[in-house]
Amino acid sequence: MIPFTVEEYHGRLTQTKLRMQQKGLDVLLITDPANMNYLSGYDGWSFYVDQMLIVSLDRVQPIWIGRKMDANAAKVTTWLYEDNILFYPEDHIHSQERHPMEFIAGVLQQLGLAPCRIGLEMASYYFSALAYEKLKKSLPDARFQDASLLVNHVRLIKSNQEIDYIRRAAKIAAIGMQSAITSIQEGVRECDAAATIFKHLISGTDEFGGDYPSIVPLLPAGKNTSTPHLTWTDRYYTENEIVIIELAGCHRRYHAPMARTLSLGRPSEEVTETSKILVEGLNTTIEAVKPGATCEDVEMAWRKVISKYGIEKDSRMGYSVGVGYPPDWGEHTASIRKGDQTILQPNMTFHMIPGLWFDDYGVEISETIRVTETGCEVLTEFQRELIIKDQIDIAI
């Protein structure tokens, strides 16, 4: 079931170990499920409990440790030898008397890694303050160091196989977006439209199916478009309101996000003009993408366009994307914004999202792109404009 060759996993592990050596680390403890997947292939909805991937400089393979009932998932989704798949007892789950990190600490002691220089993903959503305290108490001789985003930075440049998965995700995103445009209609409930979108995102194409995205479709409507991260309710869509649709196709855990703005009826002049500015800015920014440019250089192209119209935008214009698990499809590394000196290289992938939000409305139109050898490839494909919908049969 592994989605990549063993050779590719070895290459990722080699790059990770090089970064570990640069930081003076002997051991890296990984709790982020995206990084766990990237290095081992592990894929299961088990990140709500403590689990760990141990990377040691002197071991050929990582060691996966998780809940007992999830060990078989590691056997079928990873490239690891069975001896490198360990589990803690079920009585460690949500217990007040024992903690999985105590078990993991015992494994590190048995391996002779307890007194080592150990890197931790301190910024991981999946590594709690309690987990950290249990590790420190159980490994008093260890020298802990923050190694957040170490693997994330290895993930920045994608392999050709990763790009292929993102291209598939982009096709699924277009299918999901079309289902949104078709189903969002005056008199339809927001939740019913969301259900239709989910159906198509998961069904995918006849050739390949979709996976659950790391973020659910975001569907603010009317005045709620002034804030970008609302989902849906059971209210009914009404005439002459706008709806922001932000979603992502997902295939083999690789994401291709896309956003569009839909007007149910005639849009206001403000919304129309804002959408034109967004498209102009997005087109100009895409043209600025090329190897050797910095993220800041690319953002400046966007800033120059909107400044012509007297608009300022504090939030970033884009961010790197790839493999992901809830609650985010972003890689938490490079951002298209002022001050980010990350140098663009071929096969980096970004979600370029020039959203503008005001007091009473907002507009989003976005694309997922790949840095090529000479410029930029837009991976998502859908009409890049404000979508105006007058009357059309509801198709759900």
| Predicted confidence (pLDDT) per residue in 82-141, tens digit | 999 999 999 999 999 999 999 999 999 999 999 999 999 999 999 999 999 999 999 999
Section 263-273 average pLDDT: 96
Instruction: Determine phi and psi for 343, rounding to 5 degrees.
Output: -90, 125
| Residue 35 CA: distances (Å) to CA of 109, 155, 304 | 24, 8, 36
Q: What does the angle CA 93 – CA 108 – CA 104 come to, to the nearest 5 degrees? A: 5
Average pLDDT of the residues of the chain: 96
| CB of 332 closer than 8 Å to CB of 342 | no
| CB of 349 closer than 8 Å to CB of 257 | no
Distance CA 105, CA 277 (A): 55
pLDDT value, residue 391: 53
- Preceding omega of 89 cis (within 30 degrees of 0): no
| CB of 291 closer than 8 Å to CB of 346 | yes
* pLDDT tops 80 at residue 395: no
* pLDDT tops 50 at residue 297: yes
| Predicted confidence (pLDDT) per residue in 184-236, tens digit | 999 999 999 999 999 999 999 999 999 999 999 999 999 999 999 999 999 99
| CB of 384 closer than 8 Å to CB of 177 | no
**Positive or negative, the Cα torsion across 334, 335, 341, 343?**
positive
